[in-house]
Amino acid sequence: MTAVALPPFAGTGAAAEIKMLSPGQLAWQRFRRHKMAMVGLFGLACLFVYVFAAGAILSRGMCAPLGLELSGEAYANCNDIAIKLQAPSAAHIFGTDTIGQDILARTIYGGQISLLIGVSAALIEVILGTLVGAIAAYYGGWVDSVLMRFTEAMLNIPSLFLLIVAAKFLGGTIPEITLLGRTFSSSVVVIIVIIGFTSWMYLARIVRANILSLKEQDFISASRCLGVSNRRMILTHLLPNTLAPVIVTATLGIANAILSEAYVSFLGLGVKPPTASWGNMLENSYRYLESAPWLWVFPGLFVLVTVLCVNFVGDGLRDALDPRGTRAL
């Protein structure tokens, strides 16, 4: 038979460009083409600037009862009954609440608490869910059975009910903590821990399913033949190849944690005053739905926008990290 020399492949256009992209660049290209994800990313960037950078400029004013000009969280916590329930004005852009606190300043520092709870709880969720799912799938046998039965048992616990009970009975038993110059009440710690420890189960099942399929791949068999340790196999070969669902779950976990904190704080069992959060700013606002709508409009709007933006970003990450996706093609 005569060998036929095939011409070298010379890709042109979009196909050649994609061929040269790294996985990270390809994911970013897919993400950029997801319009709502870019809107969500821009919204989150603006939100972080407002919450973490605008305090020095916007949270500043005279606290009449003390006769001092305060700034930062001290101003946000200043009570002035003489100006309670004032409508939005030039002096108080978002108005004042039932005890004369500036709502704009409290949305800034309350946003820091709400975002701290969301990110910290999601971090606990990711760590626990990833470890449980990876260990169960990799070792199998009785280890898998025990961990999965424990996971199923945890799924039967109503997390919101547990969060309410724990916030009620444990809120005053844990000492306050100081972080980055701010003092957080014990209720913040309780909420973070309870949300994180009751939300990892779905991620564990997703990670377990992914790793069970990855275990059968040729590169894992080759690694075993080379004598790679179990720890290195999990950390450097299996987990990096299941990062996509982990990242997406983490983003959605932030939104769920913020909503959960808002639920319990609205019931008066969440973050305790004087520490502000978007949730506890809504606690008494239902009594003033018509007479003072600014009490619930602004903190409620921040919760709504944050959750929407996080969900948009999570949706974009899901498409961008899907190896079978064709959004950028």
Q: Containing H/E element for 128?
A: helix 103-139
Sign of CA dihedral 309, 313, 314, 315: positive
Asked if residue 38 lies in contact with residue 28, where contact means CB atoms within 8 angstroms, the answer is no
**Centroid of chain to Cα 39:** 17
Overall pTM > 0.85: no
Predicted pLDDT at 219: 74
Q: Are strands 60-63 and 68-71 parallel, antiparallel or unpaired?
A: antiparallel
In 3D space, the residue among 125, 120, 116 whose CA is nearest the CA of residue 249 turns out to be: 125
Predicted pLDDT at 323: 59
Give the start-to-end residue ranges of the domains of the chain.
38-56+92-320
Output Rg (C-alpha) for the chain, integer angstroms.
25
Predicted pLDDT at 327: 46
Structure tokens belonging to residue 32: 């950029």
Binned average pLDDT, 10 residues per bin, the chain of 329 residues: 47 51 77 89 92 80 78 83 87 87 90 89 91 88 90 83 75 64 73 86 89 79 74 78 83 86 78 81 82 89 92 86 55
Predicted pLDDT at 329: 46
Its CATH class, for the domain covering 38-56+92-320, is mainly alpha
Report the C-alpha gap between 160 and 306 in whole angstroms: 20
The SS3 assignment for 216 reads: coil
Predicted pLDDT at 173: 65
Cβ neighbours of residue 292 closer than 8 Å, sequence gap 6 or more: 85, 87, 95, 285
Predicted pLDDT at 174: 66
